[in-house]
């Protein structure tokens, strides 16, 4: 099967799950071509991300002239389909904060892609996230391009479902993917009931082969790791506040923050204000090997998020046989089981977060090891990328072409 992935900004350090999914599809014999609107907006440190960048075709690099020429050609050769897509653009732009101009750019991008697919063997388009990439895939299909599907991760899509025209994107898609049952339930809220059967659950996956053996839990002071973008929804400020509460009772607990982002200065200021510079390390974005090493040196992962889909780092920590402290939100409770694989706490509850971290600190290594091994078994059963990519491919292969009345 020939598949084209339609992406917005790719690759990104936080989007390793897309890279893994593509690799699993290719390992199964499918041919995947990568199209992104633009390149990464941060420096890439992982060699695998750099390799992905080299294989990706960037639409906006073609230039405004090429996009406008493709739009003019589409209008001239197929005014009916162009009119259908233009009406969809007008309908979407009326709901969106981004307005008509940006949606006309999406239409031009879709025209350009539709031209690329003419005469090609591509039979299916797949987009990640229900934002502009899914809009471009939908418009490309309405212009006569291949059928499409898209994966919704959350939480951003669930914040503005009407503005993103999620219902329309689901309706025109051959199928839509949610990464958890919770995510599927949210999509059902914005989809017509007759479209519900075409909303599938396909988990993001990990590569079990990259976790062939687990490192023994280290002796000595307890260490925890948190991984993610430094943005409001990830909740790192709550984590710093929890560490401050544990300063007197658990002074040897150490936290490593992996990631970067717009809130770095604010996080650093809070660490300094609480006098925690010796207890909290910020090491920026690092490659996959360094993440593995940091997990191996830790006793657990902490994810204090206020909003999520289902974090890949939780899966990776569980595959590394490390207990997880996470917030009771979105799809996380479908994977993390309190008392068995870690702890779940209410989002934004600094006291509960500090108590869970204290419990991890105080637990015997034997208890943490048992939790970690249970976590490893559970994540391998539910999130093997080869298995999940196989499910996605089967949905692509069996999806019926969209009904003619929809286009």
Please provide the DSSP assignment of 234-292 as one string.
Answer: G-HHHHHHHHHHTTTT-TT-EEEEE---TTHHHHHHHHHHTT-TTTEEE--S--HHHHH
Annotate 98-158 with three-state secondary structure. CHHHHHHHHHHHHHHHHHHHCCCCCCEEEEECCCHHHHHHHHHHHCCCCEEEEEECCCHHH
Task: State how far the Cα of 278 lies from the Cα of 280, in Å rounded to an integer.
Answer: 6
394: helix, strand or coil: helix
Sign of the Cα torsion 379, 382, 385, 386 reads positive
From 210, 174, 373, select the one nearest 288 (Cα to Cα). Answer: 210
pTM of the model: 0.89
φ, ψ of residue 368 to 5 degrees: the values are -65, -40
49-72 per-position pLDDT tens digit? 999 999 999 999 999 999 999 999
Asked if residue 344 lies in contact with residue 189, where contact means CB atoms within 8 angstroms, the answer is no
17 and 289 Cβ atoms separated by less than 8 Å: no
Q: Range of 244's domain?
A: 208-382
Alpha-carbon distance of 361 to 154, in angstroms, equals 31
Residue 305 CA to residue 236 CA, distance in Å, equals 8
C-alpha 280/C-alpha 272 separation (Å) is 10
404 pLDDT band, cuts 50/70/90, is very low
Same domain, 219 and 176: no
Assess whether 284 and 396 both reside in one domain.
Answer: no
Place of tokens 């009772």: 249
CA separation (Å) from 20 to 16, 48, 373?
A: 6, 10, 23
Q: What percentage of the chain exceeds 70 in pLDDT?
A: 98
Quote the distance between the C-alpha of residue 223 and its chain's center.
Answer: 26
Pairing of strands 175-178, 199-201: parallel
Q: How far apart are CA 95 and CA 160, in angstroms?
A: 10
What does the alpha-carbon distance between residue 33 and residue 31 come to, in Å, rounded to a whole number? 7
Identify the burial level of 118 via C-beta atoms within 10 angstroms of its C-beta, where 0-12 means exposed, 13-18 middle and 19 or more buried. exposed
**CA 30 to CA 27: how far, in whole Å?**
7
Confidence of residue 401 (pLDDT cuts 50, 70, 90): very low
Residues with Cβ < 8 Å from 354, sequence gap 6 or more? 242, 243, 245, 246
Do 212 and 283 belong to one domain? yes
Residue 159: which of 345, 13, 308 has the closest Cα?
308
Q: How far apart are the C-alpha atoms of 193 and 111, rounded to whole Å?
A: 30
Average pLDDT over residues 295-322: 95
| Residue 374 structure tokens | 């249970």
Would you give the DSSP letter of residue 62? G
Residues 51 and 197 in one domain: yes
Give the strands of the sheet with 254-258, arranged side by side.
280-282, 254-258, 223-227, 300-303, 324-327, 342-345
Band of residue 403 on the pLDDT scale cut at 50, 70, 90 = very low
For residue 405, what pLDDT band results from cuts at 50, 70 and 90? Answer: very low
Please determine, for residue 97, whether its predicted confidence score (pLDDT) is greater than 90: no
Q: Are 87 and 97 in contact (CB under 8 A)?
A: no
Same domain flag for 347 and 389: no
291 and 218 assigned to the same domain: yes
* pLDDT recorded at residue 400: 59
pLDDT at 190 over 50: yes
356 in the same domain as 246: yes
Average of pLDDT values for 291-300?
95
Name the 3-class secondary structure at 176: strand
pLDDT at res. 406:
44
What's the pLDDT at 118? 95
Residue 89: strand, helix, or coil? helix
Q: Is 356 in the same domain as 394?
A: no
Q: Per-residue pLDDT for 396 more than 50?
A: yes
Region 1-6: mean pLDDT is: 97
pLDDT for residue 204: 95
Name residue 255's beta-bridge partners. Answer: 224, 280
**Phi and psi of 378, rounded to 5°?**
-65, -45
Instruction: Indicate whether 149 and 27 sit together in one domain.
Output: yes
Q: What percent of the chain has pLDDT over 90?
A: 90
Count the domains in the chain.
Answer: 2
CA dist 149 and 127 (Å) reads 6
Do residues 144 and 274 share a domain? no
Same domain, 181 and 249: no
255 and 219: one domain?
yes
What CATH number is associated with residue 268? 3.40.50.2000
- 313-337 pLDDT, tens digit per residue, is 999 999 999 999 999 999 999 999 9
């Amino acid at each position: 099967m020939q598949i084209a992935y339609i992406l917005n900004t790719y690759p990104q350090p936080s989007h390793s799950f897309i890279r893994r999914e593509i690799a699993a599809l290719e390992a199964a014999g499918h041919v995947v071509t990568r199209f992104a609107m633009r390149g990464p907006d941060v420096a890439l440190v992982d060699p695998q991300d750099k390799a992905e960048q080299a294989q990706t075709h960037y639409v906006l690099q073609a230039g405004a002239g090429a996009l406008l020429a493709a739009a003019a050609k589409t209008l001239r050769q197929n005014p009916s389909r162009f009119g259908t897509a233009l009406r969809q653009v007008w309908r979407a732009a009326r709901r969106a904060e981004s307005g008509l101009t940006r949606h006309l750019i999406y239409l031009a991008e879709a025209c350009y892609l539709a031209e690329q697919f003419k005469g090609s063997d591509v039979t299916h388009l797949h987009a990640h996230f229900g934002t502009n990439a899914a809009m471009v895939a939908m418009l490309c299909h309405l212009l006569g391009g291949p059928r499409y599907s898209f994966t919704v991760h959350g939480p951003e899509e669930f914040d503005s479902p009407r503005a993103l025209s999620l219902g329309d994107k689901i309706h025109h898609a051959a199928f839509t993917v949610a990464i958890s049952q919770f995510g599927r339930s949210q999509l059902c809220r914005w989809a017509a009931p007759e479209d519900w059967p075409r909303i599938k659950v396909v988990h993001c996956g990990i590569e079990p082969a990259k976790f062939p053996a687990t490192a023994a839990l280290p002796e000595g002071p307890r260490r925890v790791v948190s991984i993610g973008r430094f943005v409001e929804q990830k909740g790192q400020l709550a984590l710093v506040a929890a560490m401050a509460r544990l300063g007197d009772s658990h002074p040897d607990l150490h936290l490593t923050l992996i990631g970067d982002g717009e809130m770095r200065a604010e996080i650093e200021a809070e660490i300094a204000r609480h006098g925690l510079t010796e207890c909290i390390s910020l090491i920026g974005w690092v490659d996959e090997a360094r993440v593995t090493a940091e997990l191996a040196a830790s006793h657990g992962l902490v994810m204090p998020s206020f909003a999520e889909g289902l974090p890949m780092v939780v899966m990776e920590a569980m595959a590394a046989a490390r207990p997880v402290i996470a917030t009771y939100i979105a799809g996380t409770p479908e994977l993390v089981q309190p008392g068995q694989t870690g702890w779940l706490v209410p989002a934004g509850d600094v006291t509960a977060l500090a108590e869970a971290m204290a419990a991890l600190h105080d637990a015997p290594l034997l208890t943490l090891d048992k939790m970690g091994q249970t976590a490893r078994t559970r994540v391998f059963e539910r999130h093997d990328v080869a298995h999940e990519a196989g499910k996605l491919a089967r949905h692509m292969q069996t999806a019926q072409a969209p009904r003619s009345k929809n286009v």
